[in-house]
C-alpha cells in the first residue's frame, strides 16, 4: 500500500480495483451510489485515506467535492446512456468508456489531494477516518444501520 505522500493516479486506481474486487464491496458501492447518491470514487478515496491513516481536513474535503462537481456530470450522463443501452451491441464499449471517465475522475481527485497536501495550509481541522462514522459524516449521509453496514463493508475490504 502506498504511503500518504506517494499517491499517484495509477496507484489509486489499483487500490480501488483491489478494494472493489473484495466480496460484497461492489454490491455495497452500487447500493450507496444508486440509493444514496454517493460518489464511489470519493468513497474509495476516503477508503485510501482510512487505509494509510491520512486525516482529512476541511480544505481537502471542500477541494475534493469541487473536483467531483467538475467531473461527475460527464460520468452521470454517460452512465445514464450506458444503462439505457443494456443488452445492445455497444453496451460493452460504453462500459469501457465509463471506466475511462471514472479513471479520469480519480486522477482529478489525486491531483486535488496532492495540491492541497503540497500547499502550506495549516491543517488544524483534520478528521481521522478511523471507522465508518467519520466517513458517513464527510460524505454527508444520514446515520443509520443500513448506511453504516454498507460503509463498513467497504472499509473492511
What pLDDT digit, counting tens, does each position of 62-112 carry?
999 999 999 999 999 999 999 999 999 999 999 999 999 999 999 999 999
Residue 84: inside a domain:
yes
Q: Is 114 exposed, middle or buried (0-12, 13-18, 19+ CB in 10 A)?
A: middle
Specify if 1 maps to a domain. no
Question: Which of 7-21, 48-62, 91-105 shows the lowest mean pLDDT across its residues?
Answer: 48-62
Please say whether the beta carbons of 95 and 88 come within 8 A.
no
Residue 2 lies in a domain: no
Predicted pLDDT at 66: 97
Residue 43 within a domain:
yes
Could you tell me the three cell numbers for 45?
Answer: 478515496
Amino acid 2: pLDDT: 55
More confident call, 117 vs 21: 21
Domain count, the chain: 1
Q: What is the span of the domain harbouring residue 146?
A: 8-155
Q: What is the pTM of this model?
A: 0.84
CA 130-136-137 angle, 5° bins: 90
Residue 75 lies in a domain: yes
pLDDT at 124 over 60: no
Report the alpha-carbon angle 110-51-69, nearest 5. 35
Position 128 scores a pLDDT of 73
Instruction: Please report, rounded to a whole number, the percentage of residues in the chain having pLDDT higher than 70.
Output: 90
Reading the block at residue 108, the C-alpha cell is: 482529478
Q: Is residue 3 part of a domain?
A: no
Amino acid at each position: 500500500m502506498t504511503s500518504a505522500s506517494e499517491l499517484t493516479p495509477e496507484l489509486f486506481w489499483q487500490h480501488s480495483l483491489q478494494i472493489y474486487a473484495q466480496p460484497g464491496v461492489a454490491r455495497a458501492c452500487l447500493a450507496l451510489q444508486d440509493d444514496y447518491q454517493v460518489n464511489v470514487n470519493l468513497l474509495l478515496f476516503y477508503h485510501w485515506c482510512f487505509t494509510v491513516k491520512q486525516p482529512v481536513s476541511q480544505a481537502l474535503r471542500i477541494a475534493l467535492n469541487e473536483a467531483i462537481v467538475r467531473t461527475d456530470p460527464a460520468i452521470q450522463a454517460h452512465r445514464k446512456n450506458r444503462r439505457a443501452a443494456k443488452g445492445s451491441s455497444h453496451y460493452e464499449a460504453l462500459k469501457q468508456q465509463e471506466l475511462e471517465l471514472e479513471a479520469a475522475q480519480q486522477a482529478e481527485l489525486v491531483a486535488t489531494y496532492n495540491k492541497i497536501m503540497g500547499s502550506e495550509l495549516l491543517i488544524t481541522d483534520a478528521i481521522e477516518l478511523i471507522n465508518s462514522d467519520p466517513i458517513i459524516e464527510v460524505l454527508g449521509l444520514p446515520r443509520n444501520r443500513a448506511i453504516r453496514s454498507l460503509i463498513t463493508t467497504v472499509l473492511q475490504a
